[in-house]
Amino acid sequence: MRLLVERLSKAYTFLWALRDFSVELESGDLVALLGPNGAGKTTLLKLLVGLIAPTSGAIRFEGTSRIAPRSQPRTGLLMPADHLYDNLTVRENLSFFLSLYGHRCDLQMIDCALEDVALLERGAEYVGNLSSGMRCRVSLAKWKLLQPDVLLLDEPYGVLDGSGIDLLEKFLRHQAENGGIVIMASHHVSRALKLCRRALILKQGRLTFNEVKRQPWPSFDRAFGEFLPQGEKWSS
Amino acid sequence: MELLKHTSLLLWKDFLLELRRRDSLLTMFFFGTLLLFVFHFSFDLPPDRVAEMAPALLWLAFLFTGTLGLTQLFQVERENHTLEALLLSPLDRGALFLAKSCFNLLLMSLVELVVMPLFWILFNLQGWNLLPQLFLVTLLGTIGFCVLGTMMSAITLRARARELLLPLVLFPLMIPVILATIRCMENIMSAGDLGAAGSWLRLLLGFDVIFVTVGILIFDQVIES
């Protein structure tokens, strides 16, 4: 499976949020999407899943246009504390989304996924009563069950505790090893770099860096150095 | 088949959420009955004059009550950005339109079932035997209102002052449906028979069929724009 993004641009009235973004990703790619606030990371993720339409450019999966109605491969977007119904229980949320995606709604499978994210005992609780970290775990269970081919994540580290991060990273590695593509937007550079095999850096809507990880990585150090707080140094 | 499956799934989800939140239905009930009491204390008219005005007064109450429901219709999908989650899925957009329309229809019908008999009691009206026929006509009018309302609610979803904008956009478009429903009800109340409302009834049915069909066909564009 290949994901081809060709000269993708998005403008909000007179402001370019993303400009001429091109990238080619293949099965097994685990990508860190980095950049300062307002660089266009979330816009790019929303464009890739088809939530917003590009101003110009194209997104293709294995040569087929994403314009085709909800064509395979299926993309998933993990927003840490979002995309769940507060007044449905954890199990009801999962079973609703399973049915929506046309999967068999198997309660045993749901419980298994909840056990994987250490939330089995909270299955009957309303999502609205859970902390943002736990909601992120529910989202993780959701995408574990749905198994998307391309999984995009927006700042997943912010709300997770240590064990949650371990669960997340294990899941993302598993997704990539099983032929999926994972793109993760994050400000937690050291964690993201440890996990990912490629880094993309966006600056003011433009792609300024796109390389496969290597050690040492002086080009990354140079490219990323300018985003660090004053006085801090970075070394990959 | 997929359309019906998704519609029933979304409808069940909305029903379950309303059962737990109870905000839309309760607000609509209170507002509907409150309006009746306001009418009751404002108009000091004999029953025969009230009977002439009954369809218009009832539909005034239904319009405001229904608009209240419409402003809440997509609220649940705005919280936690669940609309994004729905749009990410392979869900048929027509199913979302049908589910939201049916859900609002269900709420409005429940309110109407209470408000109409209450109106008859408050204004001491005769002709209780006409209520089933009047309910039927009201249901057809409500279908038109809910279908068009769902469409407009989706169009104004991302607008800043959507609560203010919605009635401004919706009411002018609703004029044919309201007019046909009120004329139907007037004919039934004066002639005492559903047959008397023939041409207006056909017009109302025509509106409903057109709005539902167009809604299913174009909701995809509306919700994703």
Task: Tell me how many domains chain B contains.
Answer: 1
Please check the confidence at residue B150 and state whether its pLDDT lies above 60.
yes
Confidence of residue A159 (pLDDT cuts 50, 70, 90): confident
Residue with tokens 């994703």: B224
> Of A84, A88, A100, which to mutate for an interface test with B (greatest number of B Cβ within 10 Å)?
A100
A100 contacts on B by Cβ (under 8 Å): 6, 9, 86, 89-91
pLDDT at A71: 41
pLDDT reading at A65 higher than 70:
no
The amino acid present at A123, given as its one-letter code, is: G
End-to-end CA distance of chain B: 26
CA nearest A127 in B: which residue?
A: B80
- Average pLDDT (A34-44) is 91
Query: What is the amino acid identity at position B62?
Result: F
**In the prediction, which pLDDT does A158 show?**
86
What local confidence, expressed as pLDDT, does residue A214 receive? 87
pTM: 0.87
> Which of residues A74 and B189 earns the better pLDDT score?
B189
Q: What is the pLDDT averaged over residues B104-116?
A: 94
Residue A85 in contact with partner chain B when CB distance is under 8 A? yes
* H-state helical runs in chain B: 2-21, 23-42, 47-73, 75-78, 82-88, 93-122, 131-155, 162-191, 198-224
Counting every residue written for chain B, the total comes to 225
Q: Are strands A181-185 and A56-61 parallel, antiparallel or unpaired?
A: unpaired
pLDDT for B134 beyond 70: yes
What is the phi/psi pair of residue A151, to 5°?
-115, 125
From CA A66, how far away is CA B87, in angstroms rounded? 14
Cα dihedral B19/B21/B26/B28 (nearest 10): -100
The token duo for B195 is: 């047959």
CA distance A96 to chain B (A): 8
Band of the pLDDT at B96, cuts 50, 70, 90?
very high
pLDDT tens for residues B33-67?
999 999 888 887 777 788 788 889 999 999 999 99
Which whole number is the average pLDDT over A160-164?
Answer: 90
Mean pLDDT of chain A: 88
Q: How far is CA B185 from CA A90, A122, A165, B39, in A?
A: 47, 53, 63, 19
Closest listed residue to residue A146, CA positions, set A178, A104, A177: A104
Strands A181-185 and A198-203: unpaired
Higher pLDDT pick, A52 / A67: A52
Which two tokens mark A36?
A: 């300062």
> For an interface test with A, which of B14, B18, B78, B80 has the most A Cβ atoms less than 10 Å from its Cβ?
B80
**Tens-digit pLDDT profile for residues A46-59:** 999 988 889 999 99
Q: What is the mean pLDDT of residues B159-170?
A: 87
Task: Look up the domain containing B42 and give its range.
Answer: 2-224
DSSP symbol at A233: -
- Find chain B residues with C-beta within 8 A of A83's C-beta: 80-82, 84-85, 88
Gyration radius of chain A over CA positions: 18
**Tokens found for residue A64:** 């087929």
Asked if A79 is an interface residue toward chain B (Cβ–Cβ < 8 A), one would say: yes
Residues in B touching A76 (Cβ below 8 Å): 88
Predicted confidence band at A72 (pLDDT cuts at 50, 70, 90)?
A: very low
CB-neighbour burial class of residue B114 (10 A; exposed 0-12, middle 13-18, buried 19+): middle
Question: How confident is the model at residue A236, as a pLDDT?
Answer: 64
Residue A68 has pLDDT above 50, yes or no: no
Percent of chain B with pLDDT over 90: 53
Give the whole-angstrom CA distance, residue B71 versus residue B56. 23
| pLDDT higher than threshold 60 for residue B153 | yes
Residue A235: the pLDDT is 67
Binned at pLDDT 50, 70 and 90, residue A43 comes out as very high
CA-to-CA dists, residue B40 to B51, B55, B121, angstroms: 13, 14, 10
Q: What is the per-residue pLDDT for A69?
A: 44
From the list A30, A45, A77, A49, the residue with the least C-alpha distance to A199 is A30
pLDDT at A152: 95
- The mean predicted confidence, pLDDT, of chain B is 89
Task: Give ipTM to 2 decimals.
Answer: 0.86
Rounded CA-CA distance A232/A186 in Å is 18
* Residue closest to A77 by CA, chosen among A5, A181, A3, A6: A181
Label residue B145 by pLDDT band (50, 70, 90).
very high
**Interval A170-199 mean pLDDT:** 91
Determine the pLDDT at residue B198.
81
Considering only the beta carbons, identify the residue of B6, B85, B90 that sits closest to A83: B85
- Let me know: does B35 contact B63? Beta carbons within 8 Å: no
Kindly report which listed range (B27-36, B42-51, B125-134, B154-163) carries the lowest average pLDDT score.
Answer: B42-51
